Amino acid sequence: MWSQLITGLLAISLLAACRPTPLQEQQAYVFGTRVEVIVVSPEVEVGRKAIAAVLREFDRLHQNYHAWQPSQLSELNSAIAEGRPQQVSDELRDLILESQTLARQGHYLFDPGIGRLIRLWGFQADEFRAVLPSAEALAAWQRQQPSIADLELKGNLASSRNKALALDFGGYLKGVALDRAAAILRAQGINNALINIGGNILALGSKEGKKWRVGIQHPRKPGPLATIELEDGEAIGTSGDYQRYFELDGQRYSHLLDPRSARPAQHTQAVTILIPAGNRSGTRSDALSKPIFIAGPTDWREVARDNGIEFVLRVDRDQRIQVTPALQQRLKLIDAKTMIETLP
């Protein structure tokens, strides 16, 4: 699975230089994926301590909001299933409110309330089994129509009349972690860094005056499809059917589930979006790539426009590549012969 990620974000080219560069880098495995933090600091110990603080925060978020192991989130899900209200922390309350807003903005194609559907498909696990859920189970889930919109908050008291609601922040928390990492690094005096969480990337500053250049993974080939230079504070988010999936009888089933059909979206291989620097750029880059991926060939541009997202690259099921004009101007294709359609 690691080989399918944007391995090292072209780390070899980033680290190769004519003279020693004050870079500190550390990798870990959190949120079910590989994470990488690179900082530029002439004071090595300062850089190492800043990276350690970031990784501690990643671990804390992962442990507190794990969807199927004991956590604050799983406790809330148990309470919902039993039909009782649950007191939640200030942080979890804020995450719920923010994810409700993002779900609404994404036409509920991104919906952290579909945890039971994710479990039915076997994606709430470290290893995936090539087994399809029964048609009856999927139909029962659809009849209940659970959504994060069903969750009510009165202060810190959370409740839902829909017992089928179960929260899973897997499509959202990596973006939250990007923003937390940026805040931690800046608070510790680190203004130049690159943070990568399984292909969700946020850039701070530059690498010795040069913009950070990162790769956009090809969904069916090793290595990147293209590269792009990131400005200070920009974030990119990629959703792909090559990250978490299983195959059965020649058919690929990915974790990117369409709540309308209760099945994996199969019209798209990958979507990458770029969010300009601003409030919650990391969070938005992660959460809003999902509805664009799931929306489909006729609707994805509407979802992007509704959310003010100008920078989008989409690879469809036949590996046709579409790119918005704003993003096309900034892409550098790895293979100059690659055919792309720049949309009007």
What are the pLDDT digits (tens) for 4-19?
333 344 433 443 344 4
Rounded Cα distance between 136 and 293, Å, is 26
Q: Cα–Cα–Cα angle for 201, 202, 207, nearest 5°? A: 110
Q: What is the pLDDT of residue 128?
A: 94
Q: Name the pLDDT band for 344 (thresholds 50, 70, 90).
A: confident
> Hey, what CATH topology would domain 2-64+172-342 get?
T-fold (3.10.520)
pLDDT of residue 147: 98
Q: What is the pLDDT of residues 45-86, one digit of tens each?
A: 999 999 999 999 999 999 999 999 999 999 999 999 999 999
Residue whose tokens read 């939250």? 176
User: 3-class DSSP state for residue 306?
Assistant: helix
Provide the pLDDT for residue 11. 39
- The dihedral region occupied by 269, where left means phi > 0, alpha psi between -120 and 50, and beta the remainder, is alpha
Distance of CA 159 to CAs 135, 152, 237, 327, Å?
A: 29, 5, 31, 42
The two beta strands, 224-230 and 235-240, are unpaired
Q: In this prediction, what percent of the chain has a pLDDT beyond 90?
A: 92
pLDDT tens digit sequence for 193-207:
999 999 999 999 999
Ramachandran sector of residue 312 (left: φ over 0; alpha: ψ -120 to 50; beta: rest): beta
Whether 21 shows a pLDDT value over 70: the answer reads: no
Which residues, 6+ apart, have CB-to-CB distance to 153 below 8 Å? 93, 96, 97
Provide mean pLDDT across the span 275-304.
Answer: 97
Q: How far apart are CA 223 and CA 10, in angstroms?
A: 9
Q: Does the model's pTM come out above 0.85?
A: yes
Q: How far apart are CA 316 and CA 267, in angstroms?
A: 6
Residue 137 pLDDT exceeds 80: yes
Give the Cα separation of 260 and 258 in Å (integer): 5
